[in-house]
Amino acid sequence: MLKRRIKWDEKTAVVTGSGSGIGRAVAIAMAKKGTTVHLIDLRQERIAAMLDELSLGSNSSNICGHTVDVTVPEQLEQLATSLRGRVDILINCAGILHQGKLATTTNKELRQVMDVNLWGVINSIKAFLPQMSDRQQGGHIINIASIAGLIGAPEMSLYNASKYAILGLSESLAIELAANKIQVAAICPGSVNTNLGRDGLISSDSTVAQTLRKIIHNGVDPDRIALDIIRVIESSSSFKLSYVELHWQILWLCKRMFPSLYPRFASIFYHGVVNRGLLDLFLRLKIYLGKRLGFFHGEDLSR
């Protein structure tokens, strides 16, 4: 799609989960463009660290920090009211990882994951959308989904469910709000080197859990995802695969081409490849090739 010229220094953005990972990276990227950025994170120390880091830049006066729990609608509504409708871009990055079999997942874990990954996004949109619509100047809502919202994996059912829901929510809202010139997009990153592996709810020491930690640790830098988010806003796209590794893209393509055969094929892949440690071997080979040839990820077929 054609790239539109965005006057970033005239825009105001709200970024949830901006204390770390993708949220942090995209907040910094927009701040460097002169955008007024409101940082939202549950942890006050992360907001303070971000403010300290951004205070060294030339656009430090355009940065504001807010300690907000996205699972509490009233906190988001209070912030939206205090900003008096001056929000052009809403980026929902707050999220939590969960790994474990559904049968052994506690109700507390289930609520925690869905409250953050799904209801946190819904709460945020409900808080800022009315004023964004009332301004009649358009806007952008970007929701961070995942390749996990496109393909299922064993011991990831709860996380998969939350990300599948974000894709459905984003697609429906994109259609609903098009007439208001409000762009709604879902970004589906592959493996990203964030704190999800450390802070997430990883409930077992299975081969899947060990492989998951390694995949995250060797994932792409969040700055690259941030650049894709900027591109999505500039092109008004509604969907973007962002640095998804080749093996995950192959699984997704197989699912699209042969939906009835996908569960059997995926089972062979996960139980025959992952559980035998062959994916770990692939990761080691990828790192070796990356050091020798200067790349770490397969070609992104969505580009």
* 3 state SS of 67: strand
| Residue 159 appears among annotated catalytic residues | yes
pLDDT tens string for the chain (303 positions)? 556 788 999 999 999 999 999 999 999 999 999 999 999 999 999 999 989 888 766 556 689 999 999 999 999 999 999 998 789 999 999 999 998 889 989 999 999 999 999 999 999 999 999 999 998 899 999 999 999 999 988 888 999 999 999 999 999 999 999 999 999 999 999 988 888 777 777 876 766 677 777 777 777 899 999 999 999 999 988 999 898 887 788 888 889 999 888 888 778 777 766 666 655 665 565 555 555 555 444 433 333
Per the listing, tokens 């007024």 go with 36
> 59: helix, coil or strand?
coil
3-state percent helix, strand, coil for the chain, nearest multiple of 5: 55, 15, 30
Cβ pair 111, 33 in contact under 8 A: no
What are the CB-based long-range contacts (under 8 Å, 24+) for 266-271? 266/151, 266/152, 266/153, 267/154, 270/153, 270/154, 270/208, 271/154
Q: How far is CA 284 from CA 174, 243, 281, 289, 296, in A?
A: 40, 18, 5, 9, 10
CA torsion, points 302, 166, 140, 243, in degrees to nearest 10?
A: -30
Residue among 223, 194, 192, 181 nearest 30 (CA) = 223
C-alpha 16/C-alpha 13 separation (Å) is: 10
Question: Of the listed 159, 243, 262, 270, which one is catalytic?
Answer: 159
Write the single-letter amino acid at 137: Q
Is-contact 269 253, C-beta < 8 A? no
